[in-house]
Structure 1
Amino acid sequence: MRAVIVLAALALFSCDKSPKPEDAVFVDAKDGVRAALKDPGSAEFSELYRCGDSRVVTGEVNAKNSFGGYNGNTHFIYADGQVYMEGESDTQGYVRANARCSEEIRKTPARIPQADK
């Protein structure tokens, strides 16, 4: 029983979805997403995750459009200095980046939170 508790605690602590301010990959991802937006200053980020131990970041951004209204959350993937936004013109790039994120997560299974059954 003690081993189960220790393993559960290790899994919980190894899955830190909240980015640390000094973590450069999150700063780079946010900067890249902001550069792709109509109103970079309006960007509101949520659900930021690092895909395994890689420099691939996935998350959501809500920002103002050309009319000054917020679009609602849009999923993005930041990989290799490129930003791929869900629903944008580079659909194949988004799919490839999403597959890469999944592959990076598979390489580090201890960081994947397990859903309750």
Structure 2
Amino acid sequence: MRKTVVILASVALTGCAGMMDIKGTGYVVEADPGYVALSIDNLKRQLKDPESARISGVYTVKTEYTGDTVNVCGLINAKNSYGGYTGSRLFAATPTVVYIERQVIGGSDYEAITNNNYVITHCKLRDGERHVFLPQYKN
């Protein structure tokens, strides 16, 4: 039993270390303000308390993984079901898809790892690329 726990823990930690090594392929692009607003609205709809959302550091990016799709990326801090703020987390959003770092909706650790990988691969900029933050999302 102990051997199984040690092996599972080692595998889990190895997977987390691999996430940090993901090379950024993103490049900043301009996006239609309406597209950005729809993406942010979709992001807020995923929250327990949408009105509490504090969104900052928003930028729009394309990567080799997204093709023509533009991801709206940034930081979100919102209240959880206990009424406390969760702390800033990275997010990637489009009008139809939302991924939030460390968010587990269905109670699955696999889902949390999947969300982390998605956010990193779809928002991490390539070397030398600079963020261009959208001024309307400063708070």
Amino acid across the alignment from 1:46: S
Unaligned runs of 5+ in 1: 1-14
Higher relative contact order (CA 8 A, sep 6+): 2
2:11 aligns with: none
Q: TM-score, normalised by structure 1?
A: 0.61
RMSD: 3.2
Deviations 1:68-112 (A, max 9, x none): 22222111111472111111232224413532344xx55xx99x2
Q: TM-score, normalised by structure 2?
A: 0.53
- Supply the distance in 2 between the matched residues of 1:85 and 1:94 (Cα, whole angstroms): 7
Structure 1 consecutive aligned stretches of length 4 or more whose deviation exceeds 4 Å? none
Deviations 1:19-72 (A, max 9, x none): 8xx602221221111111110011110010101484211111111111222222
Amino acid across the alignment from 1:40: P
Unaligned runs of 5+ in 2: 1-27, 63-67, 105-110, 132-139
1:65 aligns with: 80
> Does the Cα contact within 8 Å between 1:62 and 1:73 map onto a contact in 2?
yes
2:89 to 63, 68, 74: 74
